[in-house]
Structure 1
């Protein structure tokens, strides 16, 4: 939920995000369309209600109208599609927010049997329009779908009687109903991304098979934070990345955090029989900022003053809260090198998790078992851009630093796993690394398509990773047949980990609920815990006294298997240049910034 361009973690402006900037583009596009006599509809495609420190202020003042909805009202939105993260704070909170919305909310593949939900399964919008000198009534049907995995990811805050439908089945069913209700055009707000070309039940990213349905005329996609159109291309045969078409259908995917305005321009002609033909279409992305030759962002859209006024109270309260003291640190904490070197910020979160679960093991089957903690980087660049890294300097800490280190609203979970499952857990994480040919001197360290938040580092054991070996798992968690995998020499306290050895691992609700497809966790035994927010636990850990280097207390978890003469490129934030001492023994050269503004550091394996 980036309503303005203010970065609450760093206390500086980010010209590349914010609905206040997108709002300026919306108004310009609307004026252009009206000048041509066009009908204009404005939609949001989900995951708008959370994702920034503004969330906490909103949760603590539930009687206030949500600042996002104020902004939607100012801009004149016609409908809101729901995304999976909109359910992160539970059903009661979501219903309360949506009941004050200035426009209808839609979700076509989640049901609440016997309960009145605050969203609709579909929407019909009527507009009077002029075609060939005659006035006509245009009926536009709107549906919205999200990943059916939403119920599993948020199982800890959603009721058991909620039901999720397969995306394709829900789209086909709802689109046909809209057609029966007289809709000449059907728009899908599809909170789903590019994935498999053929349909399988309950796909998370079902955009390609969805676009093959004849009942759909236009699609607004999302969920994966990618861009479409995107001249850099895609390897999907059914996708035209330049024109923004999938199976010939116009599709727009406008990034994330208000980075782009997506526009689909449909040229409709009345067919004389009460219907409409789509004679042509055009798909366009308009960015709020542009990167220059050295990766620097330049603002293209100033922030809309009326949006800033609408959110001013919530914005000011959030900034005040973010400045509240939280402790001190004697060492800098950052995530620039999470994929190649010891990360103190992850280790600090791991310590907080392990400390929190130990009292709840007494008197249980887990008492006396070794306690470990799994933590993945929360801010790792990727699709969020080169400024999206944790970067906390040594010295006084405030709440904004805590949020920078752990921005998610995850809760603590604990499981008992075997040594064999532990190894599989690490093998799944190691899929992040691109396969490296031993002796090569170029190539990326990490797979760009592998989310960094699925790179779990398990503290309390040690191991080596061999990136020259093939990965053991596909991204969906399916095991790749053959090969030894990438994990070598897995040990605890210097002794090899045996397959039947048992451990307690502290993790989070997202991972245990199936996030990231870590199938090893299906073989785990959960230990009951009260509801404990990991961000709160981290704040408590900081309050214990000045933070020192966690690796004075914990073993460094992992390193690469030595591959003499092998070099790879680490793609990280420009701020990494202030911490090159942390790459001792690995750093070889700084190869400058790429076109997206990421620093390219050559490291030796």
Structure 2
């Protein structure tokens, strides 16, 4: 007999545990089913590795922006699944793969300073007795002081081998790293005959080196970084010399798909010395039933270059489980076999009574409860009122009020800030991105603000990231290129054909943007100038047409101040480098909040566009476009496209038929 393997079995275990008196989540319940022998062989043991990634501060399974509980996501709903998985395999490891400190109002409030309590995310991870974690890119969004304080409160090692306070002259082994490059965890596991074996498990952490660009306002001159593969290749022999019998790599990167955008997980898996990997960053789930274009990836078995790999989604949507069968021979341990899966929290939680879910999360709720209540009070603070609905349901196909509000807030701020400077007389434009517009966030990941009070939570609904406002100087030619990169969102459609897919699924949703303050049209029947990675692939192609300001065509040498955010200004999505003319390190959310406070009332007149954008009409052409379940309530914003409902997708999106 072997440890519990599948969601149904784990569900039964979780329900059984819930019927007993609650035990601390740091140990399996005393009355849990006894673990089954790890293997039939006396020279084998089984190590269960549990993993989360990209939690984004989704602790109590609550959407503060929408002011509603979340089902099937977050640590609170995952706690029972973790307890059941631990009960089936004593000595299991619980690991996190980064991007845990940012992503909700809970984290934003904790980053404001003056705290006396443990950071709520760290408190939750302490309560669940995590064994180790690594740093993702979003850990740096609030700056080093916030990160340093949070890490000091962790009762588990947080490791990263490639983020540096100082680069060593003699190579990676002489680097002064921000966090320990690795940790070694001890476990005693029983073989098939019950004989105990002591194992030393190395945990190597790797962080995207692009943090230096993405958060340069916080990190410039303070940190350095090495490429992941370079750091890992140097540290792996050191880990073995330090006594590690097995090495698990926590790498905050994904698996490169078509176009190679998502990450370098394959290259890491090929490194000698890594026995298993936990991946993340791209918010995808692995293993899965689909096919991967790279022959080194076995998506169904959860293998990359022959090694077990798991990637457990995002926001607490899945718990990664790797059951590693380890065999001792010639004085060392090797992975003789593995079962890898990503258990869906929503599927398991759906079979549990609410009382069972609450019971397993009781210790976690005690740890985070005061912060949760503070976040609710903060996000419900009223700022003003809106007379118009603010929705992103059609933000990728039409000029919508929600994005005009974002853009106008940035333009208003920049004009005030640039008064009296050399840039005062230049036209001011602003980027506006629909951050909550479905994608990998699912069908509920849309902004949907009804007419009525506007609160702090609505600010974070419209803008969920702690980026700062940056104004850059651009020419008309550079502006056109920015729009061409965004226009790669659309698949090429054939004029006169019906029911064509409009959105290219390979394009990352956060890379799309509109520009407020000018007018233009996008023709999706023309080939894209850029590919989904932002690389120029067709130098002669142009999709952005009729680029005008005040009815006058924009010339290549015209100059503008483009107000964007620190992420875009860093060149993370291509373009630049640009001359920065405004950078006061002020949060985009603060700018939007202050704009609403000044306006008091948001109405059709305050959002009336002097300029706007649209898709170029293509008579006789229809496309399909997936949006949120309530999209048809906002169809007036895309009335010229005559939206029609075409059913629900398997993922729960509302499929729409649009007439170009």
State the shift of 1:255 in Å: 0.5
1:41 match: 93
Cα distance in 2 for residues equivalent to 1:179 and 1:586: 61
Cα distance in 2 for residues equivalent to 1:540 and 1:25: 42
Matches within 5 A, 1:176-575: 176-195=237-256, 205-271=263-329, 273-290=330-347, 298=350, 302-303=357-358, 304-516=361-573, 518-519=574-575, 521-522=576-577, 524-543=578-597, 544-549=599-604, 553-575=608-630
1:582 match: 637
**Which deviates the most, 308-317 or 67-76?**
67-76
Equivalent position SS for 1:280: strand
Report if aligned partners of 1:131, 1:269 keep a CA contact under 8 Å in 2: no
| Paired positions, count | 589
Cα distance in 1 for residues equivalent to 2:237 and 2:605: 58
Q: Deviations over 1:419-465 (max 9, x none)?
A: 11000000000011112122221232212232222111111111111
Where structure 2 has 5 or more consecutive residues not aligned to the other structure, the ranges are 1-56, 168-174
Report if aligned partners of 1:360, 1:529 keep a CA contact under 8 Å in 2: no
State the shift of 1:588 in Å: 4.2
1:17 aligns with 2:69: no
- Scaled by the length of structure 2, the TM-score of the pair is 0.86
1:54 match: 106
Report if aligned partners of 2:257, 2:293 keep a CA contact under 8 Å in 1: no
Cα distance in 1 for residues equivalent to 2:259 and 2:609: 46
Q: Deviations over 1:536-579 (max 9, x none)?
A: 11111112221012675423421111211111111111021211
Cα distance in 2 for residues equivalent to 1:211 and 1:372: 45
Change in 2 beyond 3 A, CA 1:197/1:321? closer
State the shift of 1:406 in Å: 1.5
1:89 match: 142
Equivalent position SS for 1:302: helix
Change in 2 beyond 3 A, CA 1:237/1:439? farther
Equivalent position SS for 2:630: helix
1:598 aligns with 2:650: no
Report if aligned partners of 1:198, 1:209 keep a CA contact under 8 Å in 2: no
State the shift of 1:177 in Å: 1.3
Cα distance in 2 for residues equivalent to 1:198 and 1:486: 21
State the shift of 1:472 in Å: 0.8
Cα distance in 2 for residues equivalent to 1:558 and 1:485: 16
State the shift of 1:597 in Å: 0.6
Q: Deviations over 1:264-293 (max 9, x none)?
A: 11101111x3211211111011111149xx
1:128 aligns with 2:188: yes
Equivalent position SS for 2:375: helix
Where structure 1 has 5 or more consecutive residues not aligned to the other structure, the ranges are 292-296
Change in 2 beyond 3 A, CA 1:595/1:549? same
- Scaled by the length of structure 1, the TM-score of the pair is 0.93
Q: Deviations over 1:387-432 (max 9, x none)?
A: 0111111011211112211121111100111111000000000011
State the shift of 1:135 in Å: 3.3
Give RMSD over aligned pairs.
Answer: 2.1
Cα distance in 2 for residues equivalent to 1:370 and 1:342: 20
Report if aligned partners of 2:64, 2:457 keep a CA contact under 8 Å in 1: yes
Cα distance in 2 for residues equivalent to 1:451 and 1:578: 26
State the shift of 1:206 in Å: 0.8
Cα distance in 2 for residues equivalent to 1:339 and 1:550: 23
State the shift of 1:503 in Å: 0.8
Cα distance in 1 for residues equivalent to 2:507 and 2:596: 31
Equivalent position SS for 2:267: helix
State the shift of 1:468 in Å: 1.3
Report if aligned partners of 2:161, 2:177 keep a CA contact under 8 Å in 1: no
Indicate which of 55, 58, 62 corresponds to 1:2. Answer: 58
Indicate which of 12, 21, 28 corresponds to 2:84. Answer: 28
Report if aligned partners of 2:163, 2:177 keep a CA contact under 8 Å in 1: no
State the shift of 1:298 in Å: 4.2
Cα distance in 2 for residues equivalent to 1:546 and 1:362: 25
Indicate which of 108, 131, 150 corresponds to 2:211. Answer: 150
Cα distance in 1 for residues equivalent to 2:636 and 2:532: 33
Change in 2 beyond 3 A, CA 1:399/1:444? same
Equivalent position SS for 2:216: coil
Cα distance in 2 for residues equivalent to 1:299 and 1:12: 21
Report if aligned partners of 1:457, 1:557 keep a CA contact under 8 Å in 2: no
Report if aligned partners of 1:105, 1:118 keep a CA contact under 8 Å in 2: no
Report if aligned partners of 1:146, 1:191 keep a CA contact under 8 Å in 2: yes
Report if aligned partners of 1:108, 1:120 keep a CA contact under 8 Å in 2: yes
Report if aligned partners of 2:286, 2:302 keep a CA contact under 8 Å in 1: yes
Cα distance in 1 for residues equivalent to 2:643 and 2:216: 46
Q: Deviations over 1:180-203 (max 9, x none)?
A: 22212110001001126999xxx8
Report if aligned partners of 1:196, 1:208 keep a CA contact under 8 Å in 2: no
Cα distance in 2 for residues equivalent to 1:141 and 1:436: 50
Q: Deviations over 1:50-99 (max 9, x none)?
A: 10011233124432101222222221111011100011111111111101
Equivalent position SS for 1:156: helix
Change in 2 beyond 3 A, CA 1:126/1:601? same
Cα distance in 1 for residues equivalent to 2:259 and 2:276: 19
Equivalent position SS for 1:380: coil
Report if aligned partners of 2:253, 2:279 keep a CA contact under 8 Å in 1: yes
Cα distance in 1 for residues equivalent to 2:176 and 2:123: 24
